[in-house]
């Protein structure tokens, strides 16, 4: 494996991408920004934002046109996610969660599964979620205990899952379960579980630090029965499909980080030019200027990493040979978001600690990005192992 930069894989934003950014930014500033603080405060699911995104055709922005999507790929999704995340951390989950839930179907689903689920998500008629994590099995996916057993023409599922985002509103959940308990990751399969399946109980929403508007719940399976045709791809091949799905969805997490960080920079910069100390705007003080400069550099670098990773996915390159790009995009962008939020609060001083300003909310929201879909410590291990070919 070479450590040289692959110059043959550039990306370039088209006129359509620029129009998308302009359109989504206007939509976010007019309709989503005024709702952001209330969504966080009340912890109420923003059905109105979902309806808005459905009406504007954003839910299928990344899906192929043959399924009713806009065909703009993961790069298009990242641009839309970034612009929404500038003003609200909850609302882009309608894109990023659905992106992850549909990836296994795109990769390994049957013709019928693709037509039904992808078309349903694109139109806004269906909402999806994705579940692998268990109380004792997060990044260590091989340790999962949820078991799917074939009985007649059905699969019977027993077990428990944790932290399933959007599950109370999901029409379907893409679930990872063991079908060969003794085979480690080679005994995992993926299933489409309807949200109203008998034997599935969705637990109460977790009490979260941030990202409070989209509920995250545990799932409990007690002889939950689903049709045999609801398996995605081949039996015991689900781990590979799930990893490919994570690779394709991680740029979306990175885009959330870029957007959040940009929102912090925009707000802190405007505040610094208005707030005076020692007879001059604090924007003239070098300590503040250095934080602003660092935020800008981190955001620009993160954006390029995210767009490159998204372009790789859209070019059909989402396997192990490029996994370090997906991990780097997620890791660097979410770290940049956390740092931008912390520095933004610091620039505002005491005001930054108050809920009258959005930066304390951004700070709470940013922490989630460093943890979900593989902690940033795991991402660093993935990057190093892939580069060292170990």
Two structure tokens written together for 65:
């046109």
Whether 266 and 291 map to the same domain: the answer is yes
201 three-class SS: strand
Q: Is 4 part of any domain?
A: no
Active site residue 373: yes
Whether 112 and 168 map to the same domain: the answer is no
Whether 334 and 222 map to the same domain: the answer is no
Whether 222 and 333 map to the same domain: the answer is no
* CATH number of the CATH domain containing 135: 2.40.110.10
pLDDT, tens digit (0-9, with 9 covering 90-100), for 113-134? 999 999 999 999 999 999 999 9
| Pairwise CA distance, residues 374 & 385, whole Å | 15
| Pairwise CA distance, residues 375 & 368, whole Å | 9
Of 174, 324, 329, nearest to 252 by C-alpha is 329
Q: What pLDDT is stored for residue 1 in this prediction?
A: 38
pLDDT, tens digit (0-9, with 9 covering 90-100), for 132-186? 999 988 888 889 999 999 999 999 999 999 999 999 999 999 999 999 999 999 9
Whether 148 and 196 map to the same domain: the answer is yes
Q: Is 95 part of any domain?
A: yes
Strand partners, 155: 150, 226
Q: What pLDDT is stored for residue 362 in this prediction?
A: 98
Q: What pLDDT is stored for residue 390 in this prediction?
A: 59
Q: What pLDDT is stored for residue 2 in this prediction?
A: 40
Considering the candidates 82, 83, 134, 373, report the single residue annotated as catalytic: 373
Q: Is 116 part of any domain?
A: yes
Q: Which pTM value belongs to this model?
A: 0.95
Q: What pLDDT is stored for residue 388 in this prediction?
A: 94
* CATH number of the CATH domain containing 357: 1.20.140.10
Whether 113 and 138 map to the same domain: the answer is no
Whether 203 and 145 map to the same domain: the answer is yes
Q: Is 7 part of any domain?
A: no
Q: Is 9 part of any domain?
A: no
**Alpha-carbon dihedral sign for residues 267, 270, 274, 275:** positive
Q: What pLDDT is stored for residue 149 in this prediction?
A: 98
Low-confidence residues in the chain, pLDDT < 50: 1-5, 7-8
| Pairwise CA distance, residues 147 & 155, whole Å | 10
Q: What pLDDT is stored for residue 139 in this prediction?
A: 82
Whether 309 and 368 map to the same domain: the answer is yes
Query: What Å distances lie between residue 154 and 89, 180, 242, CA to CA?
Result: 39, 16, 22
Mark which of 101, 127, 153 sits at the end of a domain.
127
Q: What pLDDT is stored for residue 138 in this prediction?
A: 81
> CB under 8 Å to 220, separation ≥6 — which residues?
160, 200, 201, 202, 203
DSSP-derived secondary structure for 38-60: HHHHH----HHHHHHHHHTT-TT
Whether 207 and 250 map to the same domain: the answer is no
Of 107, 110, 85, 108, nearest to 96 by C-alpha is 85
Mark which of 205, 236, 267 sits at the end of a domain.
236
Rg (CA), the chain: 21
| Count: domains in the chain | 3
Whether 118 and 195 map to the same domain: the answer is no
Q: Is 8 part of any domain?
A: no
Query: What Å distances lie between residue 318 and 46, 204, 251, 315, CA to CA?
Result: 32, 35, 11, 8
Q: What pLDDT is stored for residue 7 in this prediction?
A: 42
Whether 341 and 246 map to the same domain: the answer is yes
Q: Is 6 part of any domain?
A: no
Mark which of 68, 94, 127 sits at the end of a domain.
127
Whether 361 and 249 map to the same domain: the answer is yes
Q: What pLDDT is stored for residue 10 in this prediction?
A: 57
Of 215, 16, 40, nearest to 127 by C-alpha is 215
Which residue range forms the structural domain that includes residue 33? 15-127
């Amino acid at each position: 494996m070479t450590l040289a930069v692959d110059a043959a894989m550039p990306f370039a934003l088209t006129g359509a991408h620029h129009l998308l950014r302009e359109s989504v930014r206007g939509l976010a500033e007019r309709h989503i920004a005024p709702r952001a603080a209330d969504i966080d405060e009340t912890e109420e699911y923003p059905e109105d934002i979902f309806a808005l995104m459905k009406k504007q055709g954003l839910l299928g922005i990344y899906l192929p046109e043959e399924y009713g999507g806009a065909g703009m790929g993961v790069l298009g999704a990242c641009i839309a996610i970034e612009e929404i995340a500038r003003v609200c951390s909850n609302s882009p989950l309608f894109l990023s969660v659905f992106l992850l839930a549909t990836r296994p179907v795109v990769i390994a689903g049957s013709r019928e599964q693709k037509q039904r689920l992808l078309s349903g998500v694109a139109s806004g008629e269906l909402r999806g979620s994705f579940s692998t994590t268990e109380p004792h099995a997060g990044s260590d996916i091989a340790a999962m205990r949820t078991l799917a057993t074939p009985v007649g023409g059905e699969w019977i599922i027993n077990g428990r899952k944790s932290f399933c985002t959007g599950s109370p509103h999901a029409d379907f959940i893409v679930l990872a379960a063991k079908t060969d308990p003794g085979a480690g990751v080679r005994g995992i399969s993926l299933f489409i579980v309807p949200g109203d399946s008998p034997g599935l109980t969705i637990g109460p929403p977790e009490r979260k630090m941030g990202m409070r508007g989209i509920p995250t719940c545990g799932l409990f399976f007690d002889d939950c029965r689903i049709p045999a045709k609801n398996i995605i791809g081949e039996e015991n091949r689900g781990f590979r499909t799930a990893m490919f799905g994570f690779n394709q969805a991680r740029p979306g997490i990175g885009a959330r980080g870029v957007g959040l960080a940009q929102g912090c920079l925009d707000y802190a910069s405007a505040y610094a030019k208005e707030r005076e100390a020692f007879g001059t705007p604090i924007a003239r003080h070098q300590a503040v200027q250095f934080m602003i400069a660092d935020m800008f550099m981190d955001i620009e670098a993160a954006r390029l990493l995210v767009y490159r990773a998204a372009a790789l996915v859209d070019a059909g390159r989402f396997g192990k040979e490029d996994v370090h790009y997906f991990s780097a995009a997620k890791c660097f962008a979410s770290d940049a978001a956390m740092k931008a939020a912390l520095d933004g609060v610091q620039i505002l001083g005491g005001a930054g600690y108050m809920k009258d300003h959005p930066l304390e909310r951004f700070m709470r929201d940013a922490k989630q990005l460093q943890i979900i879909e593989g902690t940033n410590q795991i991402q660093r291990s993935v990057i190093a192992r892939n580069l060292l070919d170990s």
